Chains A and B, each alone.
Chain A
Amino acid sequence: MNFLEALQQKGFLGREFLTWLWFTSERQGGFIHYNYDKPPYRIAFLDRIVLSSDDESVSKQVVTLTGETFEPKHALAAILEGKKIEEARISVNRHDNDNFAMLLKATWFQFSGLRTPPILPAKEASDDEDDETATFLEKFALVTKAMDIVDSLFQEFLNLRLSERWASEELPLIQEWISQETE
């Protein structure tokens, strides 16, 4: 499958990942356990969720839930109408001092407003190459870590979605949560 086919035919994969991430985070009080010998990730969905439909023939309806009007039930209502999460602003951390925040765009796996934990600021107008290089390498390591976090969450989703456990375990849990929320 070439790139364009992958984008057109399997574009839903990223949207289903983000939708699963939201369900899982909501269902588990903001925690995602994926690697049991490490502390769980804490995931918060922040002020912006955009939902869209997989169906190309249906004109894309985007529901944006922002700021004070944001309530989980609004997102849930859109998901029950057949939409999936296309974009969400999330924050992820494992410890108190390693917070990453980003607007994750699901179809292209792109990031907007990607924020890593702070790095020591380079000296103002410094010409010292060592300082500059150290700052860069620190930032590079943090960006790589952000990618590793997203990759590991995506891998966890894939392992579930492509296994029998999706239908037998994960989906019933999601459905049970939806029923509770919509009662």
Chain B
Amino acid sequence: MAETGKGVTMGFISRSMPLTRYRVNGEIVAELWALVEAGIGDNAFKKIDNPDSEIVGYGWVSQGDFTDTAFPDAMMITASIVRLSLRIDNVRIPPRTLELALKDATETVLTETGQTRLSSAQRRELRERVRETLKKRTLPTIQVHDIVWDVPNRVLYLTSISRKVMDHVESLFKKSFPGLSLTPLIPYIRAEETLADEMLQRLQDLKPMHHYL
């Protein structure tokens, strides 16, 4: 049996978790299964080869097993709740490691070419080459963040409060499910949803308390 990533991250069912709550905006016109299957489509986890980015892998994985992109049915949709995880593989080269490798590479080039110093274009090119070599030799850190999308109630939970992760989830969700988008349920947005018109006007006019005494 192939190794799986089960049990490595507990996410949503863990004893203690970070949580951001979103409102899902937009209407779902397709049948839920079709929508989710199509949405995952090209957006399932895959490796990324972009020299300008520290991200070397990105996309949806099955919740509870970050190595799985086959998405077993029962795990993906449970009682109109969509369960996915966003996996982000990151390779960060520590600056001093890069500096050291660059110094060694520079000496090698100078010895081979007989030059006394590198031009700025050569330095730039060498830096990129060294960075790419180190990226390939460094093991990525793997982050997995669960999302739990309560479809009937138009609420989505994310097990992270990091602004960076939120940006990733918001943009991948929008890309995966065209016509739908996420708004963090900050207090004002939550209040707007629950108040009657007259109270809503008061909310809009409300000024902060400056002093309690």
Contact = CB atoms under 8 A, between A and B. Distances in A.
Interface stretch (B78-86, B111-119, B126-134, B171-179): B78-86
A82 B204 CA distance: 22
B186 A108 contact: yes
A1 B212 contact: no
Interface string B71-83: 0101100110101
A3 B74 CA distance: 35
Interface residues of B, number: 46
Contacts of A79: 212
Contacts of A23: 212
A178 interface: yes
A111 B20 CA distance: 7
B18 to A, nearest CB: 5
Interface in B165-194: 183-192, 194
A93 B204 CA distance: 32
B186 A16 contact: no
- Chain A interface bracket (under 10, 10 to 19, 20 to 34, 35 or more): 35 or more
A140 B16 CA distance: 13
Contact of B187 (A13, A84, A132, A171): A13
Contacts of A14: 186-187
Given A108-B20, A110-B18, A178-B212, A158 B189 contact: no
A8 to B, nearest CB: 10
Given A3-B183, A10-B206, A13-B206, A140 B18 contact: no
A23 B213 CA distance: 13
B72 to A, nearest CB: 8
B13 A136 contact: yes
B211 interface: yes
B19 A162 contact: no
B142 interface: no
A174 B72 CA distance: 54
B186 A6 contact: yes
Which 6 pairs between the two chains have the least Cβ-Cβ distance? Answer: A14-B187, A12-B208, A10-B188, A6-B188, A111-B19, A13-B187
Interface of B: 6-7, 12-13, 15-21, 64, 72, 74-75, 78-79, 81, 83, 148, 150, 157, 161, 183-192, 194-195, 199, 202-204, 206, 208-213
Interface of A: 1, 3, 6-7, 10-14, 16-17, 19, 23, 54, 79-80, 82, 84, 105-115, 118-119, 122, 125, 129, 132-133, 135-137, 139-140, 143-144, 147, 151, 154-155, 158, 161-162, 171, 174-175, 178-179
